[in-house]
Amino acid sequence: MLVALPAGQGRLPLLYAALGLTLCLMLLGSLLLGYRIYSPAELWDALAGTGGEAGTVIREYRLPRAVVAPLVGAALGVSGVLVQTLSRNRIASPDTLGLNAGASLAVVAASAGLGISSLAGLSLAAAVGAFLTSVLVFAVAATAGGLSPLRIVLVGVTFAGLMNALVEVVLTVNEAELQQLLFWLAGAFVDRPLNLVARSLPLLAIGGVLAAMLARPLDALQTDDTTAQSLGAPIRLVRIASFIAVSLLTGASVAMAGPVGFVGLVVPHAARVLSGSRHSRQILVAALIGAIYATGADILARFVIFPTEAPVGAITAVVGAALLLVLLRRRAA
């Protein structure tokens, strides 16, 4: 259960330290826990380049997913904060706005239509797909009567369904691509090579830095447009820059792990409870909570239907769907 801490500066170091320690424990669990449970001594030997079978499993399989999971979780958590502020809607996320679906469709189209198979090319395609989808969703919502929070979500969900259907059509027609792209579309952290992370790091870094730079104008954007303008916020520029940051973060996440759903919905709510509404705090806390949440879901997925591993997207979807129902019920009350 999350307990709100006072927003004073004196409590922030304690909050960051607690989240950092929790993340370290989660990463340790990710390396030690699974079909076989290893000891800290075996982990030490593995990281030192020895350890026999245990060393191979830890270095080749568990270490990459212990890197991918927190990066993806952090990226989607920050994306969720930006999306909810842009839409002024607490039930918005990269999933409900169709950004994950747009990135997935772009990856499928780049592979099946353009023959792109390089990690760099597919990562770029995912980022471009997420950006174009965000622009399309907000443009359609604006021309359909204004950027009301409910309208943005409805348009996003509609585009998400359409793009997911197109992905299925493309993969059905191109059976060869189906086998290759199941790697991307499974929405999991397992079997992701570290060189895939290296290719996506520039997108994550640029998106993260851009999100941090937007913290102060995003505070103003939480109000209505008139108030935000009176506070000196360049609304159009902030929105464009936010679209770019969200597309880079979401695109890089899809490029690394496929469409892992609902992380961008759950994490911003937890971040606001713990850090308040100021984005300078909220963005960093969302990154830490997202990393913890994704890593924890990855560990849980190994044991839910043990000895078989469950898709991590199923774990995050269960929690996210439950939260979404609670939020919708509160809005209807």
Domain ranges of the chain: 67-332
pLDDT greater than 60 at residue 7: no
Closest CA to 252 of 69, 72, 67, 64: 72
CB atoms under 10 Å from CB of 100, counted, come to: 34
Burial letters 295-309, b for 16+ CB under 10 A, else e: bbbbbebbeeeeeeb
Of the listed ranges 15-24, 218-227, 293-302, the least confidently predicted one is 218-227
> Which of the pair, 9 or 132, is modelled with greater confidence?
132
- pLDDT tens-digit map of 169-184: 887 877 766 666 776 6
Distance, first Cα to last Cα, the chain: 23
CB atoms within 10 A of CB 3: 6
Q: What confidence score (pLDDT) does residue 148 get? A: 66
Residues 202-240 as b or e (16 or more Cβ within 10 Å = b):
ebbebbbebbeebbebbbbbeeeeeebeeeebeeeebbe
Using a 10 angstrom Cβ sphere, with 0-12 exposed, 13-18 middle and 19 or more buried, the burial of residue 259 is buried
Task: Answer positive or negative: Cα dihedral of 226, 228, 233, 237.
Answer: negative
Q: How confident is the model at residue 53 (pLDDT cuts 50, 70, 90)?
A: confident
Per-residue pLDDT, averaged over 81-89, amounts to: 87
Q: What's the pTM value of the predicted model, to 2 decimals? A: 0.87
For helices 99-114 and 119-143, angle between their N-to-C axes, nearest 10 degrees? 130
- Which CATH code for domain 67-332? 1.10.3470.10
